[in-house]
Structure 1
Amino acid sequence: MTDKELSLEEILAAGNADSAEPTDYQAGFAAVIGRPNVGKSTIMNELLGQKLSITSHKPQTTRHRIHGIYTTPEHQIIYVDTPGMHLGGEKSINDYMNRTANSAFADVDVILFVVEAGRWTKEDDAVAKKLEGIETPVVVLMNKIDNYKNKEDLFPFLQKVGENVSMDTLIPISAYKKSGLDLIKKEVLKYLPHQEKIFPEEYVTDRSQRFLAAEIIREKLMRTLGEEVPYGSTVEIEQFKYDEEEDRWFINALILVERKGQKQIVIGKKGDLIKQIGIQARKDLIALLDGRVHLELWVKVKENWSDDARALASLGYDDNYSS
């Protein structure tokens, strides 16, 4: 984790600066892709052994590409968590998320295509079509198998997946039950090149603490609010600093919504909802920053921010990172 976000080009340049001598060490990238709400972020968090990507039961929770770095003395696996590829949604933010998800196909060593056991949708079809003709190895992760007591009931679904996806292997898993995760790591290692670490061993992500703080707050929004508001909301960090004298982090964050009615919903009756969001976020921020945190949340109306390319770029929805 760094205070500065690094471009993929900078990361690879730093890694290639070392000696090109043969090594037993393995390091490389594994992209985690799939439709929205299929469990990609949960899987990545479990593979890393810590929470990095935010999660909720609502689709399109993940909006950015995030690198989660798992380092051992023998290998370094860089999992690339992506927004869910989705159909519909004509706003600029939908275009951004789909472009970000598509960009994960490039420059990775293996693709982990997550599907939900027993459920194949048009969005799964769209993802499968994106994989046609790609030379990168594809491993299908069939998630949520814990929903099936009789695994034979999944045979028709397995046949459908095989007809639609050109894959190297399929691994049944349950992110909820934490089963099958070791098999994923073993399979990924089959495709990683022998080279030195790409990131320093202390890194767990290429994203800054400031970025992760905004994501934590947005997660609490997604989990606390109803169906409508989360998709019209985002979080902008206005202040993020550590005061040595007080031994405390001071964070001021703006929750941006698109309509006045949404602002009232976020605030809640007598400020109850925004207070609840703040309490939940502060708890995770203390864990993230390993220190005391003073958090202030404000709600502001920024009309049509999700369909304004310039506004999106200013809020960190920037293709320059994803390229």
Structure 2
Amino acid sequence: MNNIKQLQALISKEIERTEYGQAPRELYEPIEYIMSLGGKRLRPLLTLLAYSLYKDDVESVLRQAIAVEVFHNFTLMHDDIMDEAPLRRGKNTVHEEWNHNTAILSGDVMLVKAYEMLITDQASLTVEVLQTFNQCAREVCEGQQLDMLFESRREVAEEEYLNMIRQKTAVLLGFSLELGGLLAGAEKQNCEALQKYGINIGIGFQLMDDLLDVYADKEKFGKQVGGDILSNKKTFLLIKALDNAKGEQKKELEGWLEKKQFDPEEKVKAVTKIYNDLGIKELTENTMNEYFEQGFNFLRRIDAPLHRKSVLRKFTESLAAREK
């Protein structure tokens, strides 16, 4: 089975019937709540697509695939606390709906549950899966810490930023794909290529998000366009603009970054004009496309039937072709 909609339906059904615990309800209700908020369910889907490169019985690894989504939502729950975010997917965040302490504890239980769900019926495979997951989870935490550190730094180098998004976002996509390969018994070089494929497209997707925040159609984007500009978030676009701006242009950009009071629309318009004058959109698109192409190069190296790889490639291409 490799039809995307069928796989998505399987994932949704498995999430709905997954139990996290019974009592106290105040500990487990927040988990059921955040897992019910939806989202793209991209990570478990990638696990099933990678598994489908070699085997057809995807139902047998649904539990492990959902583990990745449980871990992802654990990171979101804790990120929301750190960011003091009021909303997640249009609904109250867990710490808003309950409280900070409950959100922390519920998140901790989600991490434990993810480990529990990753256990397979083969001891040696379980050890390999958990060792790989541990490396991924550690890097996700490192990436989140770097992201927070960057908020208080005046300058962030391009290489530092790319490494941060690799750790915070991309390595989990890489693990999702690698997990599918491991569970299918794929050879080591194929599992490694799956991981590198995921990491490269993950960096590409984050660069795309940076672009969309400035250049997306407001009606299609689903959130405020220019939010990163208003919060002075150190995205790839801002880093490149600070690197390339000179003279009065640099002075104007730094002036907007230092202003505490401003008209939001005016700031977004002014900073976007600086980006346009410097060709930042094109620079970002070029870097984004380089990472996508590197990812597809790793996909080409994977030893699997072409018609099965084409499903994974077409799905990735559909994500990379989101409307700007």
TM-score where L is the length of structure 2: 0.29
Pick 1 or 2: higher relative contact order, CA cutoff 8 A, min separation 6: 1
The structure richer in helix per residue is 2
The structure richer in strand per residue is 1
